[in-house]
Chains A and B, each alone.
Chain A
Amino acid sequence: MAEKMRSPLGQAYGLGSAREGAKEWWLMRLSSLALIPLTLWFVISVVGNVGADYETFAAWVGSPVPAILLVILIAVTFHHAAHGLQVVIEDYVHVEWQKLTLLIAVKFGCVLLAVAGIFAVARIAFGS
């Protein structure tokens, strides 16, 4: 139905509403909501770990509650960051190849950093 209502040129370009905007919007709000308590917990933990030596810090990362919350924090943070950066790029970069390059770099970079962070937490928690 949506395809039929488009002009032939509009169909060829494939631009306009993809009917997925609401889900993207909602996911961004959901990640914001999750990040409020996660960030507060993280800040309190950072303050508590100031000046901690290697053994203390590694023991903290590896204990169950911090390990679980860190993995959730990393996953939600990079989802939120990837989405936020995507919106900024789409708003300000209007040369098509530059926009596409940046969008791909942001997506790949965020996935790489998220997996690296989660791997680090897992390795500490499970003892190399």
Chain B
Amino acid sequence: MPIANRPLSPHLQVYRLPLTALMSISHRGTGIALSAGTLYLVWQLLAAASGPDAYEIFQRFAGSWLGILVLFGWSVSLFYHLVNGIRHLVWDAGYAFTIEATTKANRLVLIVTVALTVVAWVAGIASWEGQ
């Protein structure tokens, strides 16, 4: 059989990933994002350790639109990685390997991620207005 007629395996560029695959790669994506996000936390702690002036510079960024956007992306990544990570631990323990269980868990992970994000931001805004 000539090389050109060989059956091809689905290639990433022409193959629509199923939700399970998308969520698998998202776990890595959010993990990388969270690693970058640690810079934000270390900056805040170092600023607080340096004194009021350095902390004010941090606060000005944190309160800006960009800062809030970063915090939002950070919170979504954190909750997704946390919830999906628990699912990974369940897999590691040897449970929920069937396709049905995986499909159900996909939905559960997404719902809990959204719920935690909404709860955290509602509580955060309430706490901010209470200051």
Chain A residues near B (Cβ < 8 Å): 29, 32-33, 35-36, 39-40, 43, 46-48, 50-52, 54, 57-58, 61, 70, 77-78, 81, 84-85, 88, 113, 116-117, 119-121, 123-124, 128
Contact = CB atoms under 8 A, between A and B. Distances in A.
Interface in B89-131: 89, 92, 120, 123-125, 127-128, 131
A88 B28 contact: yes
User: Is the contact region of chain A dominated by helix, strand, or loop, or is it mixed?
Assistant: helix
Interface of B: 28, 31-32, 34-35, 38-39, 41-42, 45-46, 48-49, 51-52, 55-56, 59, 75, 78, 82, 85-86, 88-89, 92, 120, 123-125, 127-128, 131
B48 A81 contact: no
Nearest to A43: B120
User: Is the contact region of chain B dominated by helix, strand, or loop, or is it mixed?
Assistant: helix
A121 B123 contact: no
Contacts of A128: 49
Contact of A78 (B38, B78, B89): B38
A5 B88 CA distance: 35
Contacts of A116: 42, 45-46
Contacts of A40: 82
A29 B92 contact: yes
Given A39-B78, A52-B131, A81-B31, 8 more contacts: A57-B48, A57-B55, A85-B32, A88-B32, A113-B38, A113-B39, A116-B45, A120-B45
Contact of B128 (A39, A50, A88, A123): A50
